[in-house]
Structure 1
């Protein structure tokens, strides 16, 4: 085809056509399918397979609480928002239900038919109560009376006792009882208490089954309760009992512009979330009779569309328990994060040639002054880098001020404790705590109050925007000079998730970055119309326009006969405007590699539209969380890392910070991460034009290349 004909063909293609876009929610379901596949994959260690079943279930809980409930809202009020794929909400709900019916059955099947039998081969038995031996039942009866019975509260349902309000994600027994004196039947609800372990472990002397002793023997808590319902309903005849679980809408709206006290408004909404949100899913045991299910549906005001029959255990999220079993050979090999080489303790050798510490924790500010430092978690230690940076800043008498954004942090956060110590040391401490971080609101409120009580200046962000940046600014007096040190990352200031999520962080004392962060914090904490930044790309101010310009530049290079190349790594790709521009880049001949862990609405490999775009997703032992943006720029490469995905919410409705990485050595390190991911043939899935993902497998003459395994090995080489 001549260039002229190609140009005419290009003009005839409407890149807004919905056929060129995948639906956001259905794409997310495909991501969760890839999580489920890790549980199906025999190459995954057994206890990790159980973990992935738990992750699959946990992901679905949040999906229903936020995405499905949102679609139900739209159907209820007759709203049909315009999305790039053009699928109306009612059709999405139907497609979601059809997809999940098959996947939930697959989840139950692999748990019962594959993983439980394999657990037994290693001495771990999750038994049904009916299969227990008499001595075990005697023990469990005593355990029930002492530990379980006092916690339970049966609630009857009749004209004098209306159907009880049930909390979100609660597991319940629907119990039908009969009065033997008059034959009348009643319905009651017994909540399976979440305060007790889901699986009741038998003591070591009773770890016996069919005459042999095993490592672990246990039964589900709900079965222990069900076998002793006569304690709860003395004198009544137990006719039957069946499990059910409900999920409520949890995406509450906060009218920020009407709230005098944002913290109080969020607290009030959190208190409602557990009990008030409408029910968007009702899971019932497949053994439940139709008449009982219909009665529950009527009382809970749900339709058949919200009901999911489960053929097995409900709430497989509790399978995380099995990671606690002392079976190390059935788990991923333990990984201990290394201290980044430039932050390692200073050592010397004694007269015997043994290492002795000269300085246990080198001055992190001195290390940063020697040049920018890039850290990669969980391969490199969060504790020995980011946490140490904030801890030293809190104790250093030369530090005058610390400013930080906190989106999500751990329950017992060392970073928050360090900020409190800094305030006690009379430093100026500012913490922007994002109260609207979904499902972490309550945790963040607790920390916000503790920080305020310690004298930290706590700010709750901007009206209408979530503050999603991962940034810290430390102001230090060095002689007669003020120097600003920064940390700008892709992940949260959370020591727990830093062991599970792959993230990057940049330490620097470059003046332009320090000045930019000062301007950003002034924008967040005061009144500022600052729109221009020296180096940082800041949403919702400059990030979108700059990303568009960077993509357009690659288009210009390609159209001028040069090479255009883009590599972008992120959690989700949803924004329609960015996708259309990527299609235009592909049409211009730009080679585009996208590494998207979760949702991807772009269709790769379409002739004349996206044949130059490849999309892969890496799923494995760590959760890929870092955001990286690479632009070839006629061999003058530019690389950026930061907190933003290519989603409309990140570009337009959140405060995000993306930073250029300019040190040549650090750019090479990041390019290596991208290259490893793109070569992965163990954990990588490749997106096809029809929306299916195909898992890569090594060819017969190829070694297996796992992103996480390769980077762990390379990380160890740094300190060997």
Structure 2
């Protein structure tokens, strides 16, 4: 592995480690620690389904293929990932137990059946089991005539070691799919004490396997790959039908992981892994529950009784660029407006969209949708506009992973209202965040909105994103050109103001970096700044190395994967990388070129191969001086953080930023 690059998968695991560490941070309230443990687990589930599912296929079919940055084969990457994951899971179990111990101070306890002291609690739970749970269970004993059952992705089962009356060892399996509605149950008598349904079922296995002696048991869970290509299932159907079939196919893809709680012996675990066609490296033991979704209900209980265990509510600030008493359309036509979520509310943008839906001057609204809320105000506004006779054109990206079902439903509602709905481009995901409102009076007037994040009212409250609204016609004309190309199944190849991938973003970025390289070679101050979620593009990494070698100072705020290693002598000496993981998910993308009269852009694109070469993404220049200075100030503030910031070091490790300066939490600062 080259000393100035890191492996993508290992870098991602370092990010999830930073997420997990929030669950052990004394400055994080107890109920929020619970949330970070849950986020860690959810992140890891998706990592197995997408990234490790892909690597597993690569290992089977292209064993000699190597990663272009770390030069590791798929098998080597899997081995390294499995080793790292076992360490992280051990840490996760430790943090979980620490959290549960802290909850005891508030008289909140999660019991196993054997830990319940009150006899009435036990009696009432047993009665409840026999009356409400037992009829919904279908226990089976694995044999030649009764094969091992299909395990849906993420579904909990109980596996039991059984002994027959003849002394034969058997494997019993019970699916819990039908009893998960009330998974977290409060004890009938001892209030604020709880039991999980899997623990209750495990305690009653003798009632399920009456002809066997139950020796031991474990809760088990299977993770299945989600890495499938819609091109593999095209059979002449409409694109939406293809995506509906893709979702169904995903549920039956090959397993990539088995998780199990303590209890069963190795022989049963070995049997289960063989049934699932897994090797033993893909089996992971856990000393904590396999699914932390029950934390949501527990947090709801705590929020009422102990609000002090949560982050203090911080309402969004009013943007100084917005006057709540004036129509948004008129304000945007007078001056550019930028909103910074969650520090500013999304309501100002939604108000503009609502106004456009009823304004007689508006002739059309065009928009790209990637991930939207389930009861989306954005979709409702578009439907209202269509019902009012306006042309509404919406590109709904059905391939937004794990949001496909919601997007399919939204597309049907839009079509029913009379909107023109298109479903992306062949070969490219449309990830850009674009809205174009066209007005006609004496002349054509465009109002463009270009953002870094999704049109999702829910996530805008805890994702940091930037949203630019402008009536500059030079921007509007290029946005309109992008929509024209999309409607014709094409991609943009030439722009003057916007950076648009896959064809003219990387070149524009490289041109801007080359300008800074030229300044550095002349002995002048040269600077590049990037804020993004991930950095994986090898051409981009090589360009940044070239700039560093020329003497360009490069500051980077990279929340997640970072495959460029800073501070490596003769390669990345002039590059600094920090990561912020805190109360809000850092999601905005910012590009800065130069210190004197800098060019500043906000973008939907990370510095990843997929964003720069295989997606439609858009970066927009900040032409308003106030907004440009505001974003530069925001960017520089990240490097003052000494509470949540971690710096990436030349040995590929992350270290919490500590100095003698007063404590500075950048996210809290933005809310003040």
**Normalized against structure 2, the TM-score is what?**
0.96
Cα deviation code 1:524-548 (max 9, x no counterpart): 1115575222311100121010001
Q: In 2, are the aligned partners of 1:19 and 1:85 still within 8 Å (CA)?
A: no
Q: In 1, are the aligned partners of 2:234 and 2:242 still within 8 Å (CA)?
A: no
Alignment of 1:237-386 (within 5 A): 237-255=213-231, 258=234, 260=236, 261-274=238-251, 276-324=252-300, 325-326=302-303, 327-346=306-325, 362-382=326-346, 384-386=347-349
User: Which of residues 423, 426, 443 in structure 2 aligns to 1:460?
Assistant: 423
Aligned-partner Cα distance in 2 for 1:201–1:258? 48
Tell me what 2:664 maps to.
705
Which deviates more, 66-75 or 392-401? 392-401
Tell me what 1:674 maps to.
635
Tell me what 1:69 maps to.
53
The verdict on how the C-alpha distance between 1:122 and 1:183 changes in structure 2, with shifts beyond 3 A counting, is: same
Q: CA deviation at 1:68?
A: 0.7
Which deviates more, 442-451 or 652-661? 442-451
* Paired residue secondary structure (2:230): coil
Tell me what 1:414 maps to.
377
* Paired residue secondary structure (1:20): coil
* Paired residue secondary structure (1:18): coil
Tell me what 2:406 maps to.
443
Aligned-partner Cα distance in 2 for 1:551–1:257? 42
Cα deviation code 1:104-136 (max 9, x no counterpart): 111101211x21111111221112221111121
Corresponding position: 1:30 with 2:9: no
Tell me what 1:402 maps to.
365
Q: CA deviation at 1:144?
A: 2.5
Corresponding position: 1:597 with 2:559: yes
Corresponding position: 1:125 with 2:109: yes
Cα deviation code 1:114-170 (max 9, x no counterpart): 211111112211122211111212232233244433433324422222211110011
Tell me what 2:86 maps to.
101
Alignment of 1:611-650 (within 5 A): 611-632=573-594, 635-650=596-611
Which deviates more, 190-199 or 604-613? 190-199
Aligned-partner Cα distance in 2 for 1:375–1:315? 36
Q: In 1, are the aligned partners of 2:180 and 2:197 still within 8 Å (CA)?
A: no
The verdict on how the C-alpha distance between 1:556 and 1:490 changes in structure 2, with shifts beyond 3 A counting, is: same
Q: In 2, are the aligned partners of 1:135 and 1:206 still within 8 Å (CA)?
A: no
Tell me what 1:211 maps to.
none
Tell me what 2:615 maps to.
654
Q: In 2, are the aligned partners of 1:55 and 1:317 still within 8 Å (CA)?
A: no
Q: In 2, are the aligned partners of 1:595 and 1:617 still within 8 Å (CA)?
A: yes
Q: CA deviation at 1:177?
A: 4.0
User: Which of residues 214, 225, 241 in structure 1 aligns to 2:201?
Assistant: 225
Which deviates more, 154-163 or 551-560? 154-163
Tell me what 2:445 maps to.
483
User: Which of residues 507, 519, 525 in structure 2 aligns to 1:557?
Assistant: 519
Alignment of 1:468-617 (within 5 A): 468-477=431-440, 479-528=441-490, 530-617=492-579
Q: In 2, are the aligned partners of 1:408 and 1:444 still within 8 Å (CA)?
A: yes
Aligned-partner Cα distance in 1 for 2:285–2:244? 34
Q: CA deviation at 1:564?
A: 0.4
The verdict on how the C-alpha distance between 1:529 and 1:239 changes in structure 2, with shifts beyond 3 A counting, is: closer
Q: In 2, are the aligned partners of 1:461 and 1:467 still within 8 Å (CA)?
A: yes
* Paired residue secondary structure (2:83): helix
Q: In 2, are the aligned partners of 1:53 and 1:317 still within 8 Å (CA)?
A: no
Which deviates more, 393-402 or 186-195? 186-195
Q: In 1, are the aligned partners of 2:171 and 2:268 still within 8 Å (CA)?
A: no
Tell me what 1:161 maps to.
146
Tell me what 1:60 maps to.
44
The verdict on how the C-alpha distance between 1:399 and 1:150 changes in structure 2, with shifts beyond 3 A counting, is: farther
Aligned-partner Cα distance in 1 for 2:591–2:616? 18
Q: In 2, are the aligned partners of 1:256 and 1:464 still within 8 Å (CA)?
A: no
List gaps (5 residues or longer) in structure 2. none
Q: In 1, are the aligned partners of 2:260 and 2:284 still within 8 Å (CA)?
A: yes
Q: In 1, are the aligned partners of 2:11 and 2:561 still within 8 Å (CA)?
A: yes
